[in-house]
């Protein structure tokens, strides 16, 4: 069987969530770590934008995390990471859109050298995470009792909260419990990079 390759930034949440999906599918894949700012000739040949994550499966090259995740779920349908019901599937896609916009969309600003810009982004991320409490009340995972692409997307953000300097209040206990459940999954623990392990002192 051929081996798929993921060009991955070892400390990037977008790359992290793709690695989790690959782990959930129990696929054999090769990870090529890409250091931001350094040119990689192999990656540039595949993706002139030199961005991560970039995924290669035979002659197919994909370089947008949600596109990669949905491709993997359709290409390797077991276990499914999207609901079968079209209505619930559509709602799940809407949640993924908001996660992309309201959580992942803040990460570049959080890492900004501008203190005011970074502080505002951290405040907004914390507030948006608190809003997400409504989606996990009474459920094991986000939206439902079934693990999905939404959970693959939430895990990297929640794991990085110490790195972002964000402390959630006591009222966020259900969110923290949900995070612990995600962090215990085999697909999560086995696909942490060394840099990601260091965030919580595991390396």
Q: Are 8 and 45 in a shared domain?
A: yes
DSSP state of 91: H
User: What is the CATH number for 52?
Assistant: 3.40.30.10
Number of structural domains (the chain) is 2
Buried b (16+ CB within 10 A) or exposed e, 62-98: bbebbebbbbbbeebeeeebbbeeeeeeeebeebbee
Q: What was the pLDDT predicted at 203?
A: 56
Q: What was the pLDDT predicted at 56?
A: 97
Query: pTM of the entire structure?
Result: 0.95
Q: Are 171 and 111 in a shared domain?
A: yes
Listed residues 30, 52, 79: the one ending a domain: 79
Q: H-helix or E-strand containing 4?
A: strand 4-8
Q: Are 128 and 153 in a shared domain?
A: yes
Q: Are 8 and 73 in a shared domain?
A: yes
DSSP state of 111: T
Q: What angle do CA 36, 40, 45 make, to 5 degrees?
A: 125
Give the residue from 135, 140, 131 showing the smallest Cα distance to 177. 140
Grouped pLDDT means (10 residues each) for the chain, 203 residues: 88 97 96 88 92 95 96 96 93 95 96 90 97 90 94 98 95 96 97 95 70
Q: Are 128 and 169 in a shared domain?
A: yes
Q: Are 118 and 174 in a shared domain?
A: yes
Nearest 5°: phi and psi at 107? -65, -40
Listed residues 79, 114, 140: the one ending a domain: 79
Q: Are 75 and 90 in a shared domain?
A: no
Q: Are 113 and 178 in a shared domain?
A: yes
- Helices 149-159 and 115-131 cross at an angle (nearest 10°) of 140
Tell me, yes or no, whether 192 lies in a domain.
no
Q: Are 125 and 63 in a shared domain?
A: no
Q: H-helix or E-strand containing 148?
A: none
The whole domain housing 33 covers 4-79
Tell me, yes or no, whether 108 lies in a domain.
yes
Q: Are 119 and 57 in a shared domain?
A: no
Q: Are 98 and 72 in a shared domain?
A: no
Rounded Cα gap, residues 118 and 44, in angstroms: 30
Q: Are 71 and 145 in a shared domain?
A: no
Nearest 5°: phi and psi at 78? -120, 130
Tell me, yes or no, whether 166 lies in a domain.
yes
């Amino acid at each position: 069987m051929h081996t798929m390759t993921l060009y991955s930034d070892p400390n990037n949440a977008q790359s992290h969530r793709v690695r989790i999906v690959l782990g959930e599918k129990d696929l054999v894949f090769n990870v090529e770590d890409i250091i931001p700012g350094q040119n990689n000739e192999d990656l540039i040949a595949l993706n002139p934008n030199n961005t991560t994550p970039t995924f290669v499966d035979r002659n197919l090259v994909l370089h947008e995390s949600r596109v990669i995740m949905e491709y993997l779920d359709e290409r390797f349908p077991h276990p499914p990471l999207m609901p079968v019901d079209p209505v619930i599937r559509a709602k799940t896609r809407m949640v993924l859109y908001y996660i992309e916009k309201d959580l992942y969309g803040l990460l570049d600003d959080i890492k900004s050298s501008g203190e005011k810009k970074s502080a505002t982004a951290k405040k907004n991320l914390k507030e948006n995470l608190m809003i997400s409490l409504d989606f996990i009340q009474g459920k094991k995972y986000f939206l439902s009792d079934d693990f999905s692409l939404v959970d693959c997307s939430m895990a990297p953000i929640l794991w990085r909260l110490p790195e972002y300097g964000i402390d959630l209040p006591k009222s966020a206990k259900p969110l923290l419990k949900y995070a612990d459940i995600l962090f215990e999954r085999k697909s999560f623990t086995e696909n942490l990079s060394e840099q990601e392990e260091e965030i919580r002192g595991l390396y």
